[in-house]
Amino acid sequence: MSFADKYLKKQQVFPDYINSEVPENLGLVVTIPCYDEPDLISSLQALWLCDRPSFNVEVIVIVNSGELASDEVLKQNDKTISDFEEWLVDHEDNKLKFYLIHQPNLPKKSAGVGLARKIAMDEAVSRFNKIGKPNGIITGYDADSSCDTNYFTEIEKLFKKYPKANGANIFYEHPLEGEAFSELIYNSIAQYELYLRYYMLAMRFTGHPHAYHTVGSSFAVSANAYIKQGGMNRRQAGEDFYFLQKIIALGKFYEIKHTRVIPSPRTSDRVPFGTGKAMSTFVSEGISNYKNYNYAAFKDLKVFFDRVDDFFGVDEETFIHKLIVELPGPVRSYLKEDNFFEALDEINRNCASIDTFRKKFFGAFNAFKVLKYLNNVHEQFMEEESVIVSAKLLLKDLGIITKGVYSAKELLEIYREYEKTH
């Protein structure tokens, strides 16, 4: 019995699509959901131009559509398949193989990017299962993304350095200039990416151990970690966030900083949130000063997280009348409203050591809870503020001077460089 037999029997939605023999040296499978995509070939070409690692690589594209898909979408999918077949003729390499899965008529209840990613990633697991390789690497990539030529080799380096790694996020940068998009698009994506980086680094500043980017086009997981956490979910949006939070919670999660994925900044209304939807909102509303979570909310949360050890072994009386009264008002209010003592009491009844307590504490007050807290305190206690203001305040606390820096693009460059070096 191979490592993923039970998972595949229970979770795999469709039987294996790819029947070709799996090379014994297969080390990486890139998975690409593709729905109504006009420029898949550019993404594949970027992968084709990558330096080859020591192991074999396979790329699995899943061209998918739901049972309610329009004729226009189906026509584009057919063209994508035709373009792929034509491109493949001149792109044969024993060390880098490209496969296309076509799965139309997905049920309307679950048709979407989550299910598409799941189908492709389950196929990748099945490929590794056939050669008994639980440490095989699976990456998420998008059909409108590009990458640097050292994409494969930097992923290989990380997993060679940390052979027990469960996963990693891969450094990403949206394009900020060029001829492909309007200046409005470039200005908008600068604000949005700045928000993403501000949010992640602000969460890290609070002391939360699960603060990582969760972008669907730029992550890697081991096959074993993937099945351990139940595989990809079927969410029609935000699937990457929910999936990666489960992987991050396993520990041994890293960052690959010396290569780049280059996601597209294009607008899209195919999902209710995410980069494409955000860009559509920026453009339609002409947003030039994006408002986001007030930095004060993170500062308050840091006071709480700095005192995590104080909550080890406490009873309800101490929790209510001594500990949380010393916390900032918004945090105190949220903990009471959320009945957080119930979760805390459960943790303390099952923890014999402070190290176990810390791990379980942040398992309970996870990234979802942080988001819930932020939404709660902005409804009751504080206003959203300009991302430029928030970003500069955080940089000040990180010891970085931003005098004379006024634009989102300038701040974003500072954030990118900070992340690369810290």
Query: Is the pLDDT reported for residue 272 higher than 70?
Result: no
Dihedral angle of Cα 357, 363, 367, 368, to the nearest 10 degrees:
-130
- pLDDT value of position 270: 67
28 in Cβ contact with 53 (< 8 Å): yes
pLDDT tens-digit readout, 98-118:
999 999 999 999 999 999 999
The answer to which of 268-272, 286-290, 325-329, 372-376 has the lowest mean pLDDT is 268-272
**Concatenated DSSP letters for 180-223?**
SS-HHHHHHHHHHHHHHHHHHHHHHHTT-TT-----TTSEEEEH
Residue 351 backbone dihedrals phi, psi, to 5 degrees: -130, 125
* Closest to 115 in 3D by CA, of 106, 123, 124: 106
The Cα 221–Cα 61 span in angstroms is 17
Section 22-47 average pLDDT: 97
Identify the residue with better confidence: 269 or 359: 359
Please compute Rg for the chain using Cα positions. Answer: 22
Average pLDDT, integer, range 60-67? 97
Name the band, by pLDDT with cuts 50, 70 and 90, for residue 353.
very high
pLDDT value of position 227: 97
Q: Provide the token pair at 133.
A: 């390789």
pLDDT the model gives residue 403: 85
- β 137-140/219-222 pair status: antiparallel
Coil vs helix vs strand at 167: strand
The residues, ordered by sequence, that sit 6+ positions from 74 with a Cβ below 8 Å of its Cβ are 65, 104
What are the tokens at 78?
């057919």
pLDDT value at residue 271: 66
Q: In a 3-state reduction of DSSP, which class is residue 121?
A: helix
The SS3 assignment for 215 reads: coil
Q: pTM here? A: 0.96
